[in-house]
Homo-oligomer: A and B are copies of this chain.
Amino acid sequence: MRHRKNSNLKRLAQTPLSDQIYQNLKWSLTIGEYEPGSALSIRKVAKKMGTSAMPVREALTRLASEQLLQSATNRSYRVADLEPKRVADQFFVRARLEGIATMLATPNMTNGQIDQLEELARQMVEDIEKDDNESYILRNCNFHFAIYEAAGNEELFWTIERLWAQTGPFLAHIVRDQDMPEDWQTLHTEIAKAIRDRDADRAAQLMEKDISWSTHTFKEMER
């Protein structure tokens, strides 16, 4: 009687366990559920997920391959804990790519989609007032990705998605610990407005501003 113990993850039609675990962990990283530097052991995660070590191991090596996790030799996997310079580099690349994506998206978005952006922006202001960081992080994520999806460039979307997962743990750290600059309250509303006006250059510029604030924060931490 081997195999198939009772498991939390069912074997869904055709999607391998390792994929489910990979997606699962990647999302957790994106929304900052793990602190930078925290350890993830194969067997422990496997126990938590209710599977054998095998699929977890694949998921972790994949995440490490995308530099979301770090792996020293014969040491447990850890959530990447990078030099401030490196994190700033990541935010720099994000700023550029997301600017480009915004420029591409601006003429493509329907008025209905822009309505949703404005609604999200409004709710995010509420989140800040209520000090609800977790909700803010989620809505911020939805806001941005709604735009990038409209850009219509799969490769661009996918690259940005990876960068979000990479910077996720750090951004969450900032949002939770630091005071957010005041214009963050209005920035997302302005972005939605620029898209409404079909002003691609301004939308892209605001988007880069939104992200590069994080860049500056990390460059200052370097000192």
Using a CB–CB distance below 8 Å, which chain A residues touch chain B?
14-16, 18, 22, 57-58, 61-62, 65-67, 73, 86, 89-90, 92-93, 96-97, 100, 153-156, 158-159, 163
Q: Which of B62, B90, B153 contacts A65 (CB 8 A)?
A: B62
Are B96 and A100 within 8 A (Cβ)?
yes
Are B18 and A67 within 8 A (Cβ)?
no
CB of A192 to closest CB in B, whole Å: 24
Q: A66-B65, A155-B86, A158-B67 given as contacts; is B93 within 8 A of A96 (CB)?
A: no
Are B153 and A93 within 8 A (Cβ)?
yes
Complex Cα distance, B85 from A154, in Å, reads 9
B residues near A159, Cβ cutoff 8 Å = 93, 159, 163
CB of A15 to closest CB in B, whole Å: 8
Are B61 and A93 within 8 A (Cβ)?
no
Complex Cα distance, B163 from A97, in Å, reads 14
Complex Cα distance, B71 from A15, in Å, reads 11
CB of A200 to closest CB in B, whole Å: 15
Q: A61-B62, A65-B62 given as contacts; is B156 within 8 A of A93 (CB)?
A: yes
Known: A61-B61, A96-B96. 19 other contacts (CB 8 A): A14-B73, A15-B73, A18-B61, A22-B65, A57-B58, A58-B58, A65-B65, A66-B66, A67-B158, A86-B154, A89-B153, A89-B154, A89-B156, A92-B155, A93-B153, A93-B156, A96-B100, A97-B97, A159-B163
Complex Cα distance, B66 from A22, in Å, reads 13
Are A92 and B153 within 8 A (Cβ)?
yes
Q: Which of B15, B61, B66, B100 contacts A58 (CB 8 A)?
A: B61
Least CB separation from A65: chain B residue:
B62
Least CB separation from A26: chain B residue:
B65
CB of A54 to closest CB in B, whole Å: 10
